[in-house]
Chains A and B, each alone.
Chain A
Amino acid sequence: AQSVTQPDIHITVSEGASLELRCNYSYGATPYLFWYVQSPGQGLQLLLKYFSGDTLVQGIKGFEAEFKRSQSSFNLRKPSVHWSDAAEYFCAVVPQNSGGSNYKLTFGKGTLLTVNP
């Protein structure tokens, strides 16, 4: 079955430290890949997406993610975390060539990020 796994339920980092959130997927072919962030009481905001091409993707708020086909992974990174980055992060996938009538996101269970001052 197709699935998305975020192995870390909760991560705590100190402000200024680097961050890596893990995401692995299990699909027949490489899907489209996304990272979303959800702050308390808010909806989801798209951080970045990967469709094809360069495997290192830059997003908003200083985030980047690297696609590794051999590992079926799409890990999110940030070199220096700010207190405002505390939130829940979701990896999501959509099968390639999806659009219109067959487009639906499959989400991982999320990783809650706590930032210590």
Chain B
Amino acid sequence: KAGVTQTPRYLIKTRGQQVTLSCSPISGHRSVSWYQQTPGQGLQFLFEYFSETQRNKGNFPGRFSGRQFSNSRSEMNVSTLELGDSALYLCASSLEGGTPLHFGNGTRLTVT
């Protein structure tokens, strides 16, 4: 069974631009969560989607948004990029939400 797939692996963007990250969960998993990892703040929860609905949200500004499609694939969007948005963005999936979470290898976003 394929694991969680995140694309692209690396992204370089300029301040003010927007970016979209993609996550394909493990087959059959309906819950997708997103986490941001930075050296300063560590790993922080962004949001969780289940059956195309956002069920849970972390403390991030509205520039961070996401969505989930009917096949459970999820996208995360960051608008008006700031230098501080440079991070590793990790996606995790689970059957219904909850443990165990299966993480992808992440998308490394660099904002210049």
List the interface of chain A (C-beta within 8 A of B): 32, 34, 36, 41-46, 49, 90, 92, 94, 98-110
List the interface of chain B (C-beta within 8 A of A): 4, 31, 33, 35, 42-45, 48, 50, 55-56, 58, 90, 92, 96-101, 103-106
Contact indicator A41/B105 (Cβ below 8 Å): yes
Residues of chain B within 8 A of A99, CB atoms compared: 96-98
Closest chain B residue to A39, Cβ basis: B105
Contact indicator B90/A44 (Cβ below 8 Å): yes
* Residue picked from A43, A90, A106, A109, most chain B C-beta under 10 Å: A43
Contact indicator A101/B97 (Cβ below 8 Å): yes
Contact indicator B105/A105 (Cβ below 8 Å): no
Closest CB of chain B to A28's CB: distance in Å?
19
Contact indicator B105/A104 (Cβ below 8 Å): no
Residues of chain B within 8 A of A101, CB atoms compared: 48, 50, 55-56, 97
Contact indicator A103/B98 (Cβ below 8 Å): yes
